[in-house]
Amino acid sequence: MTQKFNRILILLVFILFALPAISTSSKIHEILFVQSYTEQDTWSKELNEGLIKGFSENSIHANITVEYLNSRFWNWRGEEEIMRRVCKRAAERNTDLIVVANDEALYSLLVCGHSLPSEIPVVFFGIQFPNEEVLSRYPNATGLTSPVPYDVLLETAKKIFPERKNVLSLSENNALGKNSNKVFRDTWKEFHSRNPEYTLKEFDLMNDAITAVLEDIQISVDAHKSILIVPYWGLYMPSLSKVSKSPTFTACGSALFNGVFCTAAPDMYEDARGAANIASKILKGTSPSEIGITESEYELVFDYNQLKFFNVAKDRLPRNPIVMNEPYMQKYGFWIILGYVLLLGFLVVFLVRLISINRRESRKRIKAQTKLMIQNKLVAQRNEFDNVFHSIREGVITYDKDLRIHFVNRSTLRMLNLPEEVNNSGFRPYEGLQAGTVCRIHHNGKNILRSILKKVNRQGISVEIPENSFIEAIDSKVYFPVSGECVPIFANGKQTGVALTFRNISDEALQKKFFDLAIEESSIYPWQYNVEEQTFTFSIGFIMRIACNKNGKITRKELNKIIHPDDLVETNNNFNAAVDDKLTNTRLTFRLLNKEGYYEWWEFRFSIIKGLNEDIPYNIVGVSQSIQRYKTTEEELIAARDIALQADKLKTAFLANMSHEIRTPLNAIVGFSDLLKDIRSFSEEEVELFVDTINKNCILLLALINDILDLSRVESGSMDFQFAQYNLPVIMREIYESQRLNMPKNVKLIMELPENNDKTIVTDTVRLKQVINNLINNAAKFTSSGSITFGYTENEPYFTTFFVKDTGKGISQKEQERIFERFYKVDTFTQGAGLGLSICQTIIGRLGGSISVKSKEGEGSVFFVTLPNHRS
Binding site for ligand ADP (CB under 6 A): 778-779, 782, 806, 808-809, 811, 819, 824-827, 830, 832-838, 861
Nearer of residues 610 and 818 to ligand ADP, judged by Cβ = 818
Distance CA 761, CA 773 (A): 18
Q: Kindly list the distances between the CA atom of residue 79 and the CA atoms of 91, 124, 418, in Å, as whole numbers in the listed order.
A: 18, 17, 110
Cβ closest to ligand ADP, residue 236 vs residue 823: 823
Asked whether the beta carbons of 51 and 273 are under 8 A apart, the reply is yes
Residue closest to 523 by CA, chosen among 609, 600, 636: 600
Q: Which is nearer to ligand ADP, 599 or 790 (CB)?
A: 790
CA dist list (Å): 485 to 447, 453, 469, 499, 759:
15, 10, 12, 8, 71
Shortest Cβ distance from residue 806 to ligand ADP (Å)? 5
Minimum distance of ligand ADP from residue 835's CB (angstroms): 5
Nearest to ligand ADP of 533, 857 (CB atom):
857
C-alpha–C-alpha distance, residues 339 and 334, integer Å: 8
Per the CB < 8 A criterion, the answer to whether 259 and 238 are in contact is: yes
Q: Give whole-number Cα distances, 556 to 55, 560, 623, in Å.
A: 125, 6, 16
Which among 421, 489, 422 is positioned nearest to 456, based on CA atoms?
489
Shortest gap between Cβ of 660 and ligand ADP (angstroms)? 12
Partnered with residue 435 across adjacent β-strands are none
| End-to-end Cα separation, the chain, in angstroms | 146
Which residues, 6+ apart, have CB-to-CB distance to 447 below 8 Å?
436, 440, 441
Helix (H) or strand (E) run with residue 728 in it: helix 728-739
Shortest spacing between CB 834 and ligand ADP, in angstroms? 4
Name residue 423's amino acid: N
Instruction: Determine the Cα–Cα distance for residues 263 and 351; give it in Å rounded to an integer.
Output: 47
Q: Which residue number is nearest to ligand ADP in terms of Cβ?
A: 832
Q: Closest approach of Cβ 673 to ligand ADP, in Å?
A: 25
Q: Identify how many contiguous H helices and E strands the chain contains and give both numbers.
A: 27, 34
* Cβ nearer to ligand ADP, comparing 367 with 660: 660
**Minimum CB separation from ligand ADP for residue 687, in Å?**
30
Of 60 and 835, which has the nearer Cβ to ligand ADP?
835
Cβ proximity to ligand ADP, 578 vs 819, nearer residue: 819
CA distance 576 to 574: 5
CA atoms of 478 and 476, how far apart (whole Å): 5
Q: Which is nearer to ligand ADP, 499 or 804 (CB)?
A: 804
Cβ proximity to ligand ADP, 455 vs 846, nearer residue: 846
The smaller minimum CB distance to ligand ADP, of residues 114 and 825, is found at 825
Kindly state the smallest distance separating residue 661's Cβ from ligand ADP, in Å.
9
Residue 171 or 842 with smaller CB distance to ligand ADP: 842
Least distance to ligand ADP, CB of residue 521, Å: 49
Q: Closest CB to ligand ADP among 365 and 856? A: 856
Give Cα separations from 19 to 22, 26, 43, 257, 785 (angstroms). 5, 10, 39, 49, 186
**Between 483 and 861, whose beta carbon lies closer to ligand ADP?**
861
| Cα gap 486→459, rounded to integer Å | 12
- What burial class does residue 178 get, using C-beta atoms within 10 Å of its C-beta: 0-12 exposed, 13-18 middle, 19+ buried? middle
Query: Residue 471 in contact with residue 440, Cβ under 8 Å?
Result: yes
* Least distance CB 792 / ligand ADP (angstroms): 18
**Pairwise CA distance, residues 271 & 145, whole Å:** 9
Instruction: Provide the b/e sequence for 191-201 (b: ≥16 CB within 10 Å).
Output: beeeeeebebe
Min dist CB 782 to ligand ADP, Å, is: 3
Shortest reach from residue 809's CB to ligand ADP, in Å: 5
Phi, psi of 310 (to 5 degrees): -95, 10
Q: What is the closest distance, in whole angstroms, from the C-beta atom of residue 865 to ligand ADP in the complex?
A: 13
Residue 502's SS3 state is strand
Q: Do 441 and 471 contact (CB within 8 A), yes or no?
A: yes
CB of 822 to ligand ADP, least distance (A): 8
Q: Are 145 and 107 spatial neighbours (Cβ–Cβ below 8 Å)? A: no
β-bridge partners, 433: none
As measured in angstroms, the least distance from the Cβ of 694 to ligand ADP is 21
Nearer to ligand ADP, 572 or 816 (CB): 816
Nearer to ligand ADP, 48 or 861 (CB): 861
Q: How far apart are CA 287 and CA 278, in angstroms?
A: 10
Are 457 and 495 within 8 A, CB to CB? Answer: yes
Decide whether 636 or 817 has the Cβ nearer to ligand ADP.
Answer: 817
- Say whether 201 sits in a helix, a strand or coil: strand
775 contacts 838 by C-beta, under 8 angstroms:
no
Q: Are strands 799-806 and 785-793 parallel, antiparallel or unpaired?
A: antiparallel
Identify the burial level of 40 via C-beta atoms within 10 angstroms of its C-beta, where 0-12 means exposed, 13-18 middle and 19 or more buried: exposed
Residue 283 near residue 97 (C-beta atoms within 8 A): yes
Give the nearest distance from C-beta 771 to ligand ADP in angstroms. Answer: 11
Minimum Å distance from CB 763 to ligand ADP?
21
Least CB distance from residue 731 to ligand ADP, whole Å? 21
Closer to ligand ADP by CB, 59 or 830: give it: 830
Q: Choose between 626 and 861: whose C-beta lies nearer to ligand ADP.
A: 861
84 with 264: CB under 8 angstroms? no
Secondary structure, 3-state, 129-156: CCCHHHHCCCCCEEEEECCCCHHHHHHH
What's the closest the beta carbon of residue 693 comes to ligand ADP, in angstroms? 20
